[in-house]
Structure 1
Amino acid sequence: MSQEIAVIGSPEFTTGFRLAGVRKFESVPEDEKGKELDDAVRRVARDEGVGIVVIHSDDLDYLSREPRSIVDTSVEPVFVTLGGEGSNSGLRDQIKRAIGIDLMDED
């Protein structure tokens, strides 16, 4: 069963998570985004020990088509985006996709 958290992003983004105890991370320097970020998403998505992947929402702009599709559709691991503009609006959808129900449903 997947239970670890992984973080993908710039060294500045991953450092806080590492200090909090996250052991799996992919640091991608700002000047190497693109293919390196694509490869990091693929590696982490294949890791069976990872259940949640945190990635900065601004980094989604650097992903090519296939890794972006992984981030958008993967259920296990679930990708959670943080930071940037509008990041809170998608969090509800990410939680709903991860657990299969809408906790905020008022019906």
Structure 2
Amino acid sequence: MSQEIAVVGSQEFTTGFRLAGVRKFENVPDDEKDASLDGAVERVFADDDVGIVVMAEADMEHLSRDVRQDAEGSIEPTLVTLGGEGAGSGGLRGQIKRAIGIDLMDDD
């Protein structure tokens, strides 16, 4: 079972997570995102130890269509985006539901 959290993004974005103890990260400078972000995301998603990948929502627009679709559709590892509406519909609630398979806030 995958247990690691990985963070992908600018050094400013990953630093807080690293200070909190996240050991897996890919720094991609802002001026290289269009050229390098796809590779960083693919490396993190290929790591069998990673269960959750954290990215800034704004960085999603720098991904190629194929990599973005793969990342958003991935069950394990699960993509969690911060700073926007979240990956796909439903925002954070939808991401949690996709990650664990149930809706913890079911209104029924």
Give me the TM-score of the superposition, normalised by structure 1: 0.94
Residue 76 (structure 2) aligns with = 76
Unaligned runs of 5+ in 1: none
CA distance in 1, matches of 2:100, 2:57: 21
Residue 46 (structure 1) aligns with = 46
CA distance in 2, matches of 1:62, 1:91: 21
CA apart distance, 1:86: 2.9
CA distance in 1, matches of 2:95, 2:35: 25
| Secondary structure of the corresponding residue to residue 58 of structure 1 | helix
CA distance in 2, matches of 1:62, 1:73: 17
Residue 86 (structure 1) aligns with = 85
> Could you list the runs of 4 or more consecutive aligned residues of structure 1 that deviate by over 6 angstroms after TM superposition?
none
Unaligned runs of 5+ in 2: none
RMSD: 1.4
Q: How many residues align?
A: 106
CA distance in 1, matches of 2:97, 2:7: 20
CA distance in 1, matches of 2:78, 2:85: 19
CA apart distance, 1:77: 0.3
Deviations 1:48-81 (A, max 9, x none): 0000010000000111011101221000000100
| Secondary structure of the corresponding residue to residue 34 of structure 1 | helix
CA distance in 1, matches of 2:40, 2:15: 16
Deviations 1:9-63 (A, max 9, x none): 0000000101111100000000000231001110001000000010000000111
Residue 2 (structure 1) aligns with = 2
CA distance in 2, matches of 1:41, 1:77: 11
